[in-house]
Amino acid sequence: MNHIVEPENKEPEQDSIYNSVEDMETQEADSTDAAAEKPAERPPAEPEPDGAARPELNGTSEVCLVSTTQDADMEEDEARSEATFSFSVPNFSKLKESVFSPACYVRNLPWKIMVMPRNNPGQDRKPQRSLGFFLQCNAESESASWSCHASAELRLLSVKEGVEDFNRKITHLFYSKENDWGFSHFMTWNEVLDEERGYIKNDTITLQVKVNADAPHGVSWDSKKHTGYVGLKNQGATCYMNSLLQTLFFTNTIRKAVYKMPTENDDSSKSVALALQRVFYELQFSDKPVGTKKLTKSFGWETMDSFMQHDVQEFLRVLLDKLESKMKGTCVEGVIPKLFEGKTISYCRCKHVDYQSSLTETYYDIQLNIKDKKNIYESFKDYVEPQTLDGENKYAAGEHGLQEAVKGVIFETLPPVLHLHLMRFQYDPITDSSVKFNDRFEFPDVLRLNDFLQTPESTPAEYVLHAVLVHSGDNHGGHYVVFINPRGDGKWCKFDDDVVSRCTRQEAIDHNFGGQDEELNLTVRHSTNAYMLVYIRRSHLAEVLQEVTEQDIPLELTERLQEEKRLEAIRRRERNEQHLYMPVQVVLEDSFEGHHGPDLYDPEKVNYRTFRVKKSATLREMMDLFSETLKVPVKHLRPWPMTIRTNQTNRPTVIDMDGDILKKVSDLADSNSAWTLFLECLPADQPPTASLPPFDKDCDVLIFFKLYCPRTKQIHYCGHQYIPISSKVRELVPLLNERAGFPPDTELHLYEELKPNMVERLEELETSLDKALDELMDGDIILFQKAEHEPCDGDLPTVEDYYKDLFYRVEVTFCDKTVPSDPGIVIELSQRMNYDQMARAVALRLGTDPYMLQFFKAQNYREGPGNALRCTYEGTLKDLLVGYKPRQPKRIYYQQLSIRINELENKRQVKCIWVGPRLKEEKELVLYPNKDGTVADLLEEAAKQVQLADGGSGQLRLLEIVGHKIVSVVKEFTHLDTLPVGSAKVYRVEETPRDELKLEEDELLVPCAHFQKEIFSTFGVPFLLRVKDGELFSAVKERIQKKLEVPDKEFEKYRFALVSQATHKFVPEEADWHLGLQDIRPKIGSGSSTLSWLGLEHMNKTPKRSRYNYLEKAIKIYN
C-alpha cells in the first residue's frame, strides 16, 4: 500500500494484521492537504505469512455486511472520467483486517475503497491506532504495463448535523507496482469512534471517494469507441509531433489539401507528402492508434531523432514550410498561406516633424509574451504597445536629424486560423539558460481582436478556440498533450499520444492556465500549462472545419494506401506464422564462379535464393516447390545440404533421395534456423526428358575442381563430378585438362584443399581416391595447376603459396577523413603488407600518388579517425588492425594532400578562416607552415592560397577570434607552438587595409563586433576600425557604414556601445559627440590589459534559437 502519514506520528506495530495486508512495496504520496505536509518513510514490514492475501471482505463475524452506493449512471458509462462512490463499514470498532468496497468502474478500470486499522507513531513515539483510508485501482490485473493518472478526494462522511465531512485529497499515477494510494493516518482511531465528533453512528462509518481519472495507458482502451477518434503512437519522445499532427489533422482544410497533393510518382519511403497522407488517412479510417515511423523516416530522421524532444513551434514552422514548397505548382498551391498568413505593419512616427516610416510583414504565427500578463488580451496589448524613442534612443529621421518618435506594430490582417505561441520558455540572464515560466495566464474560448486591427476587416475578428497544446515539465524536457474541439461546438477531447478521451471544457481550458490555483492544484501539476493555442475565425469556421469524406480523397491515393495495408497484413500474417516455417537458403552452382577463396563460396557474399518452407513439409514437397519456382523439372534437381565440418570447412553432403523423400524438412535439417542447400541442376540446354546421372552414395563421391593460375594469381572454378571411389588419381587428369582447356597430355600438379588455409599435394597419382585423399567425403575439393619446370616470375608460384597468402588476406575499408559518413572503398590486402605497399594499393584505386596520401588509424572506442600514421611506419597492416573483431568491418582513414607526406610530417597543420575585404567572403584555409615557424611563415603560406584585392596593401595579418569578438592581432614574430588552441578560438587571416598599415600616435585600431540586445549575444563577422583621438563619432559611423555596405534605412536602426569587460555604455546620439582614445584604452587600476570594443547593436537576421534542452538539436526535414 502506498500511503501518506502524519510527520509527527510514531513507528507502527508490526502485528499480523498489518503484515497480512501489506503485500507490496510502499511509496509515500505527496498531498497538498494541510494534514499531510511531508510523507514519512514506510515502516519496516516483516515477511508475510505463507498464503497471505488481501481479502475482498473481512471474513470474521466482527465485520458484518457492507453497503456501497455509486452514481446512478455507473452501469451506463464505465468509460466516464469521474465518479463518486461510497462504502459503509459496520462494526467499525471491531475492525481488525482490511476491507474493500465493491468495484466502481471509471475509465473502464475497477476502483475500490480500501479501509484498515493502522498503527502509526504518535508524538510520544508510542504506537497510535489510526484509520487507514486508500483508493485502489485495477489491483487484480496481471498486466505490468498499464498506468492511469488520477486525482481524488477521500471523505469521511458526517452523520451529525452541522459537522462537515472530513476530507483529504490525493493525486497519483496508478500502475501495477503502486496500485493504491491514500493515507495510513487519515484520522486517529479514537477520533473516529468519538460520536461527539459526528463521524460514526451505530458503530458504522461511511467513506466516500470522488475520483477523476485520465484515460489509461497500456490497457485495452478503445479510443475510437469512446470518442470516434484515434491517437498516434509515441516513438520515444515524439509527443510534441503527435500533438501538432492531431491539430493539423482536425484543421480539415489542411487535411483536404494534403490528400490532394500529387504523390503517385513519389518514393514511398522518402516522400513527406505521401507519408503525411498515410498518417491522415489512418487517423480518419483506422480503429487503432496510428504509427508515425514511416513519417519520421520520410523526414530523413535517424532513430535518435525520435528520442529527442523538440519545440512544437519550430517543428510547425519547418513542417508548414516543407508542405508549402511541395504544394507549389499543384492544385492546392496557396492553401497554407491562405489559412495561416496574416500581416503586420511596423511603423515609426516622429512626434514633432512630419516624418514616418512603415514596413509590412507577413506572419504564420504570433509569439505572445506571458511574463507578468494576466491574460491573452494583456499580451496582445503588450504586443502592439508603442515605444517612445527619446534621449539617447532618438530616431534618425533623415534630413530632420535625430527626433523623438513612437514606434510600434499594428495588425493589418488576421488569418482564418490563428496560431498563438505563448512564450513560456525565455532566456534568464541570471542563470544564463532558458527557463520555463509557469505563471497563470488565462485565455478565453472566444477571442475578439477587432481592437488590434489597423482598420476593421470585412468580417469581425472573432475567434473560436479550436486546440490547446499543453506542456508538462521544464526547459529540460517534458510531455505534450493536446486538447481539441474537433467540430468547434465546445465538445472537447484530450489527445495523449495513443489515447484519446472525452473531457470537459474546464479540463481543456481552465486547468491549463498554469499558476498555483488552490482549487486545481490537486488535479493539475504546477508545471502543466498551455504552450500553444489554435483559434479559428468564426466567419471561416464552417469552411475550415468542413467535413472530409472519402470522396475528397483521390481514388489513386486510396487504392495505393489500401494496397499498402494489404501487403502489410500479408507480412504481419507471415510474421505471426513464422514459427510454422523455416527458411531454406539455396545456392546454385553459378555462385561458385568468381570465388577466389577457400571452400566453394563466401557465405557473407553469396546471393542465396531463400524459400519459405513449412516445417511439416516433406522433402518431396520441398523439391516440388523448388521445381515450380525455378521452372525446372524435379528430375533435373538434386539437393546437397551444406555442412560445417570439424576442420571448419563448409561443404555439401549427401542426402538419401529414396529413403528420405517422405521425411519432414524439419527432421532432415540440423535446426529450425536457416537450412542451406547446394541445389545441383542440369544445364539449361538439356531436354526435358534428360535427368541427372544416378549417384550411388556407397560407391561414388562428389568432387569439386578448381584451377590455379600463377600468373593472374587467381582461382577458377571448374565444376564438379561424380567419381567412383575406386578410381585412381591419374584418371582425373584428362578430365581436368578438358575442363581447363589444356591439351590432353598436359602435366598437372594436384592438391587437396584440407582447411581454409591449408592444401596438400597429391604425390601418388596411381593410388585410388579413397587412399590418396585424407578421409574422402562428398564435397571434397581438388585444386590443380600446370606443372612448371622453370621458376615462375610471380611471387605466388604454387597453390600452396597462394593459400598461405590467402590466410593473411583481409578486406579493409578506406574512408576519406574529409567526407562525413564516407562509405569508403573496400580493398582486399595482405596483412603482411608494409606502409609503402598499402599506400601504393590505395593510391592505385584512387588514381593518385601514394606520397600524396596521409593515413589515420581508426579509433577503438568509436567510429572516426584517430592519430595520423607517419610515412616511416615500420609495422604491418596486421598491426594497424589490432582490436577489430573477426567479422567487424576494418577501417583505415585517409586524406589526399596538396604536399607530399614526407614534407608534411616536418610541418604543422593550422586551420584558419580567410575573410575578404568586404567581410563577407569566408573560406577555410588549411595551412602547412614549418613546425618551428612563426606567424610570419603562416601568413606566407596563406598568401599562396588567397586572392588579394587589386590595389590592396598586399600584407596579411592574423586575428584571434573568440565568440565573434576580436581578442588580439597576433604578432608576426610569435612562434606557432605558442598559439593557444581551443574549441572556442578561431584564427582569421585577412589583408591589412592600406590606411591601417601605419598608425599615428593619436590613432588606435578598435575591435568592433555585432550584438543583439545583450552584449554577450554577439554574432557575425567582427572587424578592426582605425579611430583618431577626439574624432567626431558621426565620422566613425560613416566609415563603419561604408565598410559594412549597409543601406541608410537599415543603418538608422543601429546603436553603438563601448564595451569594457562585462559593462557597456551606449554612445550618445548627439551629432557633435567626440570619441576619445581614453574611452578605448584600459583604465588604470582596472586590472585589465585589453582594449574596450565597439559594439554594433542591431537585429541578427539569421538567429539561432536557443535550445531548451541541452540534448536538443535543430529540427530538419531532409527530404
- Residues known to be catalytic: 239, 479
Q: How far apart are CA 1058 and CA 1073, in angstroms?
A: 14
Other CB atoms within 10 Å distance of the CB of residue 22:
22
Q: Is 804 helix (H, G, I), strand (E, B) or coil?
A: helix
Question: For the CA atoms of the chain, what is the radius of gyration?
Answer: 41
Q: For residue 446, what is its C-alpha cell?
A: 472566444
Q: Is 770 helix (H, G, I), strand (E, B) or coil?
A: helix
- Beta strand ranges found along 381-432 (DSSP E): 387-389, 395-396, 402-403, 405-413, 417-422, 425-428
CA-to-CA separations, 237 to 233, 754, 805, in angstroms, rounded:
10, 55, 52
Q: How far apart are CA 294 and CA 642, in angstroms?
A: 39
Please spell the DSSP secondary structure of 91-121, one letter per residue.
SGGG--S-EEPPPEEETTEEEEEEEEEEEEE
Q: Taking phi first (over 0 means left), then psi (-120 to 50 degrees means alpha), and beta for anything else, what does residue 391 get?
A: left
Please answer whether residues 718 and 726 qualify as being in contact, where contact means their C-beta atoms are separated by less than 8 angstroms: no
Longest C-alpha distance within the chain, in Å? Answer: 124
Please answer whether residues 559 and 567 qualify as being in contact, where contact means their C-beta atoms are separated by less than 8 angstroms: no
Which helix (H) or strand (E) is 479 found in, with range? strand 477-484
Report the amino acid identity of residue 913: I
Q: 54-60: which pairs have CB atoms within 8 A and are 24 or more residues apart?
A: 54/20, 54/21, 54/23, 54/98, 54/100, 54/139, 55/97, 55/98, 55/99, 55/100, 56/100, 57/99, 57/100, 58/95, 58/96, 58/97, 58/98, 58/99, 59/97, 60/96, 60/97
Please answer whether residues 215 and 107 qualify as being in contact, where contact means their C-beta atoms are separated by less than 8 angstroms: yes
Q: For residue 974, what is its C-alpha cell?
A: 610569435
Other CB atoms within 10 Å distance of the CB of residue 868:
18
Scanning 153-266, the segments in alpha helix (DSSP H) are 189-193, 223-227, 239-249, 252-259
Q: How far apart are CA 157 and CA 471, in angstroms?
A: 37
CA-to-CA separations, 489 to 246, 254, 435, 465, 486, in angstroms, rounded:
17, 19, 36, 10, 8
Please spell the DSSP secondary structure of 728-751, one letter per residue.
BGGGHHHHHHHHHT--TT--EEEE
Q: How far apart are CA 47 and CA 22, in angstroms?
A: 9
Q: 279-282: which pairs have CB atoms within 8 A and are 24 or more residues apart?
A: 279/232, 279/245, 279/249, 280/249, 280/255, 281/553, 281/557, 281/558, 281/561, 282/230
Q: How far apart are CA 130 and CA 192, in angstroms?
A: 9
Q: Taking phi first (over 0 means left), then psi (-120 to 50 degrees means alpha), and beta for anything else, what does residue 648 get?
A: left
Q: How far apart are CA 527 and CA 512, in angstroms?
A: 10
